[in-house]
Amino acid sequence: MVVNYQPRLACQTRVETLDSDVITVQPLHNLPVAKDLVVSLEPFFEKWKEINPALDPINKGSKKLAVIPPDSDFGKEAAAKRDCITCGACYSACSLPGSNKGYLGPAAINKALLRLLDPRDKDVKHRLEVLYDTAGIWRCHTQFNCTAACPKGIPLTDSIMRLKRAMIRPGQFNDNKHSTTSGS
Amino acid sequence: MTTSTAQLLVRKYRWRYAGMIGYYLQRVTGLALLGYLLLHVHTINLLKDPAKFDEALATFRSPLFKLAEIGLLATVILHALNGIRLTMVDCGVGLTKQRQIFWCFAIGVGAILFLAGAIPMLMHINFQGAK
Amino acid sequence: MYWRAINWYLQRITGAALLLLLIMHFWVEHFSADVRHGELNFQTVQTRFFHNPWFVTVDILFLLFALYHGLNGLRNIILDYSVIGKNGARVITVVLILIGLVWAWWGIDAFSGNNLTQNTQQLTSANH
């Protein structure tokens, strides 16, 4: 919900923290209103699905665990990025999904980056194609609203920026892949 | 506590963080500068007709145009400094401080540079009539 | 080809270059010797342009970079509105490239001189 003009998790917003005797509530922006304050997250999840959010393992039939140690490079990178709860606050905070209905939105882009960086995941080409689209990462104009709105504190603008920089050498996402099994 | 209208308005637009103001600013100044480029290239094309060129330059000496030039200075400074901030952020530098960079650098330093240019320009305007 | 990625980098690079070119251009137009001591009019501008080819070079470079940066920026603004559709986006890109080429030609053509060019060049070479 948008409470006092900021997209937030209504369930976690306590009135006393709002420091006001006037509280404005609105349905989330950029999403179709189903009724009253309820929005449909359908467009948000369409973009989510477009980038193939599930892990596409290199070693699908493996019986061993594919462990990512928390102190490994990817482990540390993933720590901030994987907390997304798909609440839609970022999608609501940015102005671009409002004007460009095809824009992927910060959550989807962040998830795509997480998967691209994952050494166990083999789907690089398809995700890059989706991100490279005109309605992909290029529609971000560093408003920073997404980073400010995220209740999990994920540095979303940073994720999108990393992808913009990386697009000149997209092969780099193939470099870190290896059929990880436990231990490596 | 009662929330005054002013406070409510501030709260409503405070959501327009520095990032958002910077976004609008870059676009507006950018379009303005494109428009200026159109006018400028047109004027330079008048070099083909010396009389018209000198006539145009005389018009540009009038107080109204001198004030517009000061406006142009502000536009250029804002677009350039915010552009530097955006390029820094694009390189991953200063991401956690992007708001401070906006207010202190783009606006703060910008204001200083603007005054450094605008004050001498203002002093040279001949409000009595064009030279 | 990764045009969009290159384009993204070029927008930043041209932006930085424009800052430098602006400072150079501004210096020449407002602070160089002949402008400070004389009035800015057709004669002084004409003489300066054909006296030293560097002036024209900087000006043309400035124009080309500014056109790239500015029209690219305009393209980004337009593409932010999905209502134009995928084909609309392609059309806009082509149209803006065409506008850029015409505008660039228009700007460069301004330096093609006039019937006084010949005389000015003879005068300046005679004075040296």
Interface test with chain A among B1, B26, B91, B95, by most A beta carbons within 10 Å: B95
- The number of folded domains in chain B is 1
What is the phi-psi region of residue B120: left when phi exceeds 0, alpha when psi lies from -120 to 50, beta otherwise? alpha
Q: Which domain holds residue B62?
A: 17-123
pLDDT band of residue B84 (cuts 50, 70, 90) is very high
In a domain, C36, yes or no: no
Percent of chain C with pLDDT over 70: 80
Percent of chain B with pLDDT over 70: 82
pLDDT at C85 over 90: no
Q: What is the ipTM of this complex?
A: 0.87
CB contact under 8 Å between A5 and B11, yes or no, is yes
Mean pLDDT of the residues in chain B: 84
CB contact under 8 Å between C82 and A167, yes or no, is no
Mean pLDDT of the residues in chain C: 83
The Cα–Cα gap between C16 and C22 comes to 10
- Beta strand pairing status for A33-35 and A38-39? antiparallel
CA distance, residue A102 to nearest chain B CA (Å):
20
pLDDT band of residue C110 (cuts 50, 70, 90) is confident
Using a 10 angstrom Cβ sphere, with 0-12 exposed, 13-18 middle and 19 or more buried, the burial of residue B61 is middle
Judged by average pLDDT, the poorest of A19-23, A51-55, A83-87 is A19-23
Q: Are A28 and A7 in contact (CB under 8 A)?
A: yes
If you write DSSP's letter for every residue of C27-47 in order, what string do you get? IIIIISHHHHHS--SHHHHHH
- Residue A35 has φ and ψ, to the nearest 5°, of -170, 140
CA distance, residue A95 to nearest chain C CA (Å):
10
pLDDT band of residue A184 (cuts 50, 70, 90) is very low
Structure tokens at C8: 């993204």
A108: how many CB neighbours lie within 10 A of its CB?
A: 27
What's at B87, amino acid-wise?
A: T
Whether the CB of C71 is below 8 Å from some CB of chain A: the reply is: no
pTM, two decimal places: 0.88
Q: Which DSSP state fits C1? A: -
Whether the CB of A99 is below 8 Å from some CB of chain B: the reply is: no
If you write DSSP's letter for every residue of C53-66 in order, what string do you get? HHHHHHHHHHHHHH
pLDDT at B102 over 60: yes
The residues near B29 (Cβ < 8 Å, ≥ 6 apart) are B75, B76, B78, B79, B82
Which pLDDT belongs to residue A40? 96
pLDDT at A133 over 50: yes
pLDDT, tens only, A104-118 = 999 999 999 999 999
CB contact under 8 Å between C4 and A103, yes or no, is no
Which pLDDT belongs to residue B130? 44
CB contact under 8 Å between A168 and C79, yes or no, is no
Whether the CB of C77 is below 8 Å from some CB of chain A: the reply is: no
CB contact under 8 Å between B19 and A161, yes or no, is no
Whether the CB of B5 is below 8 Å from some CB of chain A: the reply is: no
Whether the CB of A171 is below 8 Å from some CB of chain C: the reply is: no
In a domain, B38, yes or no: yes
Whether the CB of C30 is below 8 Å from some CB of chain B: the reply is: no
The residues near A182 (Cβ < 8 Å, ≥ 6 apart) are A64, A65, A66, A67
pLDDT, tens only, C25-65 = 888 777 776 666 667 777 777 777 777 778 888 889 999 99
Q: Are A96 and A139 in contact (CB under 8 A)?
A: yes
pLDDT band of residue A137 (cuts 50, 70, 90) is very high
Which pLDDT belongs to residue C25? 86
pLDDT band of residue A182 (cuts 50, 70, 90) is very low
Q: Which domain holds residue C70?
A: 3-25+56-116+119-123
CA distance, residue C57 to nearest chain B CA (Å):
15
pLDDT at B56 over 70: yes
Compare C46 and A173 and report the one with higher pLDDT.
Answer: A173
pLDDT at B17 over 80: no
What's at B103, amino acid-wise?
A: W
Compare C69 and B59 and report the one with higher pLDDT.
Answer: C69
pLDDT at A48 over 90: yes
How much is the average pLDDT of A123-127? 94
How much is the average pLDDT of A124-133? 94
How much is the average pLDDT of A16-45? 92
Whether the CB of A20 is below 8 Å from some CB of chain C: the reply is: no
* Domains recognised in chain A with CATH numbers: 41-175 (1.10.1060.10)
In a domain, C110, yes or no: yes
Q: Give C8's Cβ-side CA count (13 Å radius).
A: 23
Q: Are C32 and C24 in contact (CB under 8 A)?
A: no
Q: Are B82 and B61 in contact (CB under 8 A)?
A: no
Which pLDDT belongs to residue A6? 87
CA distance, residue B36 to nearest chain A CA (Å):
24
Which pLDDT belongs to residue A66? 86
Which pLDDT belongs to residue A108? 97
Which pLDDT belongs to residue C28? 78
- The number of folded domains in chain C is 1
If you write DSSP's letter for every residue of chain A in order, what string do you get? -EETTEE--GGG--HHHH--S---EEPPTTS-EEETTEE--HHHHHHHHHT--S--BSSTT--S-----TTSHHHHHHHHHTT-----HHHHH-SHHHH-TT---HHHHHHHHHHHH-TTB---HHHHHHHHSTTTGGG-----HHHHH-TT---HHHHHHHHHHHTTSTTHHHHT-----TT-
Q: Are A156 and A90 in contact (CB under 8 A)?
A: yes
Q: Which DSSP state fits C14? A: H
Compute CA distances B72 → A83, B33, B35, whole Å: 46, 8, 11
Nearest-by-CA chain A residue for B86: A142
pLDDT at B119 over 80: yes
Q: Are B20 and A145 in contact (CB under 8 A)?
A: yes
A7-14 contacts, C-beta under 8 A, 24 or more apart: A7/A88, A7/A89, A7/A90, A7/A92, A7/A93, A7/A149, A8/A89, A8/A149, A8/A151, A9/A87, A9/A89, A9/A151, A12/A151
Residue A97, Cα to own-chain centre: how many angstroms? 14
Judged by average pLDDT, the poorest of A9-13, A98-102, B75-79, C83-87 is C83-87
Check which CATH number belongs to the domain holding B104 and give it.
Answer: 1.20.1300.10
How much is the average pLDDT of A127-146? 94
Judged by average pLDDT, the poorest of A149-163, B40-54, C77-91 is B40-54
- HEC profile for chain B? CCCCHHHHHHHHHHCCCHHHHHHHHHHHHHHHHHHHHHHHHHHHHHHHCHHHHHHHHHHHCCHHHHHHHHHHHHHHHHHHHHHHHHHHHHCCCCHHHHHHHHHHHHHHHHHHHHHHHHHHHHHCCCCCCCC
